[in-house]
Structure 1
Amino acid sequence: MPQVSALFRHPVKGFTPEACDELVVQADGRVAGDRVLAFRFASAVTPESRDGLAYWPKSRGLALMDFPSLARLRVRYDHTALRVTITDDGGRTLVDAALDDQGRRRLEDAVTAFVADSPEASRLDAEGVLPLRLVGDGRTSRFQDRPRGFVSLHGAASVQALDAAVPASVDDRRFRSNVVVTGTAPWDELGWSGRVRVGDVLFDVQAPIARCTAIMANPDTGDRDARLLRVLTKEFDQQAPTLGILLLPASGESGTVRLGDEVTLAPASERVSH
């Protein structure tokens, strides 16, 4: 029986995932505490609109797609105290600050200094990038890559198949999914449709996840050490580089997903077509 083997949320968009024992799935289809903060470029002072929803495209702020060195930073977020601690890959604390005005400026300065000393430093020279601004109230999940949000899921076997195809080490963190499932064959989840139950939460399957260059960044070093987009299309005969699926809670329900929860495709009576 497939079951949940790992759960992640990403308090700061584009930064370190936080492994969790459980995730609260909100009725709006987002995970509580996931992408509640983001470092946006100076010119992105207001969100854009797409499909009638507020939307902060990742091209308008710090994201692994264009700043792979961010993977070297480790983020701890205290969602009760609204406090962010950022350390580098050597364990040195770069900044530890609350989300008040002064703390936000300290966080912005520390991250700007880090990027300025990284291989992506020249990207800061583009018009409208500086000064970076830390946006988000620290509670509202709103900086997902898609306006609708979604909960993301992939099978561990799919990642293992990809890992076996390249010299570099490839693990679940590269794909920044919320839910990782074991007990399925490689790529099985790409064929799911209708509804799937994860523990107590019934989800509607929405679509496969087309991937960007973010997955090429090693989650420990920030080096682009694997040409995974090409491997997915050439070695696994995909039309577009794809790994994982998007989910929405059925009928706007909310609930909690926990490590070890069983994952089952809903019976035909509970399925819907998309």
Structure 2
Amino acid sequence: MTQTVTEIWRHPIKSHGREALESVKLTAGQTMPGDRVWAVAHEASSADGSEWVPCSNFSRVAKAPQLMAITAQYDADAGTVSLSYPERGALSFNPDAPEDLPRFLDWVRPLMPEDRAASARILRVPGRGMTDTDFPSVTLCNLASHRAVEAAMGQDLSPLRWRGNIWFDLGEAWSEHDWLGREVQIGDAVFAVRERTRRCLATTANPNTGLRDADTLKTLNGAFGHQDFSVYAEVVRGGDIRLGDPVKVL
């Protein structure tokens, strides 16, 4: 079986929408271009954009499940992001422009739980995306593992729940976990696989509705003995990746 890239996704604003790509050009030591460029700090956060900080500083799907149903489009040349949400309409704005912040906060406010710290500001850290790891990571996902979770739950699930970057089908569930400490070539790029991705409540939310409707964490722990899905990898050799490109362990 030849493993190839089936999907490529980026998430311009952390936890606030996803965007499908046909190709991407990666650079060694950096996150995927356009992925988690920005994050939305909540009113209880001390994050100031001077350095990477953990995800607890930001508004995110784990605490605000309705955010899962946002879709996004990033125009890097214009510096704008367009967000869309069912029954909310679309918003196009510049996340770096202070004058655009009030429009974003007004747009996203109805999607935030009243018992959680409110979104307050948008920030970025120069030179890297705001991934959940303290190193610039790209998330690699195996469709066979996704199918195993679906089978264990007895229901269809959207792969978008996992908010991964690069998807492929290895044919065997969890075989990506064997990649830890190894290098993998995808297209022209080479990755060092560093960690398994421990999952949180975000994956219980439906990407179409923003409602929590699947106990993914209970299933992972009960059926498979772990709470992980996908692996975090670091780009060690840059290059282009396109849909249909081969995936191979070096």
1:101 matches 2:85: no
| 1:67 counterpart residue number | 64
Residue aligning to 1:162: 149
Does the 8 Å contact 1:156/1:182 carry over to 2? yes
- Matching residue of 2:241: 257
Q: Map 1:143-222 onto structure 2 (within 5 A).
A: 143-193=130-180, 194-222=182-210
Distance 1:114 1:4, change over 3 A: same
Instruction: Tell me by how many angstroms 1:182 deviates.
Output: 1.7
- The amino acid that maps onto 1:60 is N
Determine helix, strand or coil for the equivalent of 2:245: coil
Please list the CA deviations of residues 119-170 of structure 1 after superposition, one character each: whole Å capped at 9, or x if unmatched: x2221xxxxx346101128x85321111102111011111011112224431
Higher Cα Rg, which structure? 1
Q: CA deviation at 1:77?
A: 2.2
Number of aligned pairs?
Answer: 247
Who is 1:244 aligned against? Answer: 230
Task: Classify 1:183/1:69 alpha carbon distance in 2 versus 1 (closer, same or farther; 3 Å).
Answer: same
Q: Where does structure 2 lack aligned partners over 5 or more consecutive residues? A: none
The equivalent of 2:53 in structure 1 is 56
After superposition, the C-alpha distances for 1:13-50 in whole angstroms (9 at most, x for unaligned) are: 0022111011222222411111011111134343599x
1:90 positional shift: 3.2
Q: C-alpha distance in 1, partners of 2:94/2:144?
A: 39
Q: Where do 5+ consecutive residues of structure 1 fail to align?
A: 124-128, 267-274
How far did 1:113 drift?
A: 4.0
Please point out which of 206, 226, 229 is paired with 2:214. 226
2:38 aligns with: 37
TM-score with structure 2 setting the length = 0.90
Query: Aligned residues: percent identity?
Result: 27
- Match in the other structure for 2:120: 132
Give secondary structure in 1 for the equivalent of 2:153. Answer: coil
Q: What secondary structure does 1:122 align onto?
A: coil
- Deviating runs (4+, > 4 A) in structure 1? none
Q: Are the aligned partners of 1:155 and 1:186 in contact in 2 as well (CA < 8 Å)?
A: yes
